Amino acid sequence: GAGVSQTPSNKVTEKGKYVELRCDPISGHTALYWYRQSLGQGPEFLIYFQGTGAADDSGLPNDRFFAVRPEGSVSTLKIQRTERGDSAVYLCASSPLSGLAKNIQYFGAGTRLSVL
């Protein structure tokens, strides 16, 4: 079946601009996660959704970052007034909340964001 899909795969923007990154989770997965990964480091947690609501947004670095999941499926990560330090790969993952796979997170290939 289809895995987690992230678009675009690459995004180049200028400092100060607004960007939106999209994540299509695996169908039926209630949980959705956003991570950020800098070069040579492991992923860093940003936010977790259970259904439509953000159950934990403690990893969002500041109020320029915001994420939504209005219908409990597709999610959008929004970054306002981008800064060069926001350049990273943004990863999305989804998982079911029950069953044998409930402890497993399935990742997309990520969106590489470059802020010039």
Partner 1 sequence: DAKTTQPNSMESNEEEPVHLPCNHSTISGTDYIHWYRQLPSQGPEYVIHGLTSNVNNRMASLAIAEDRKSSTLILHRATLRDAAVYYCIQSTDSNYQLIWGAGTKLIIKP
Q: Which of 2, 27, 39, 42 binds partner 1 (CB under 8 A)?
A: 42
43 counts as binding partner 1 under rule CB under 8 A: yes
Give the shortest CB-78-to-partner 1 separation in angstroms: 20
Q: What single DSSP character describes residue 29?
A: -
Residue 92: closest CA among 1, 3, 6: 6
Q: How far is CA 34 from CA 10, 14, 15, 106, 115, in A?
A: 16, 22, 22, 11, 19
| 33 forms part of the interface with partner 1 (CB under 8 A) | yes
> Shortest Cβ distance from residue 113 to partner 1 (Å)?
15
12 binds partner 1 (CB under 8 A): no
Residue 103 contacts partner 1 per CB under 8 A: yes
Residues 36, 23: contact at Cβ < 8 Å? no
Contact set for partner 1, span 44-83 (CB under 8 A): 44-45, 48, 55-56, 59
Q: Which is nearer to partner 1, 21 or 91 (CB)?
A: 91
| Cα 52 off chain centre by | 14
